[in-house]
Amino acid sequence: MTKAALKIADDIEIRLLPQAELEAHREALVQLFAPVDKHDIRGMTAAEFVQWAIDGRIELFMADGGKLAWGLTMLADGAQPIAEIIGVVGEGFRKHLGAIWPQMEAVCRQRGAARVVLNGRPGWQRIMDKHGFAVRELAMVKELD
């Protein structure tokens, strides 16, 4: 287990992907994040999202042997830093969320976050309610041609 990995259960480990490895794995990462629609990754394509990681604008985390992945970026809201979790992919996310979420939250606190923001489709609300999330805003989106 590398220093950047957090073991959270016998079969689950969260790993921060090292910045130096991202370029070498660009295509695999683009394929991994391809199922996530533009709404879930701030209007970006999977290739743009991965480029953000390569450029150091977001951190990429993986769990469950690479079956789950997400990005984390820090935003400024006055004096209160906000952690934004974006681009969550993986079929096992719901299955492992109970084990993974406390560690994800700890990482956000380590980064100095006072709040966590997660964008998702309406069905995510039922899942994230159990972890203390509440809907505070409504995002309205219009695609411009």
pLDDT in tens, 12-39: 678 888 888 899 989 988 888 888 766 6
**DSSP type of residue 11:** T
pLDDT for 1: 34
pLDDT at residue 52 tops 50: yes
pLDDT for 137: 75
Closest CA to 86 of 130, 139, 126, 132: 139
pLDDT for 3: 45
% residues pLDDT > 70 (the chain):
85
Mean pLDDT of 53-74: 85
Q: Beta-carbon neighbour count of residue 34 at 10 Å?
A: 14
Structural element, H or E, at residue 86: strand 80-89
% residues pLDDT > 90 (the chain):
7
CATH number belonging to domain 5-129: 3.40.630.30
pLDDT at residue 2 tops 50: no
Helix, strand, coil percent values for the chain (each to nearest 5): 35, 25, 40
Mean pLDDT of 134-141: 76
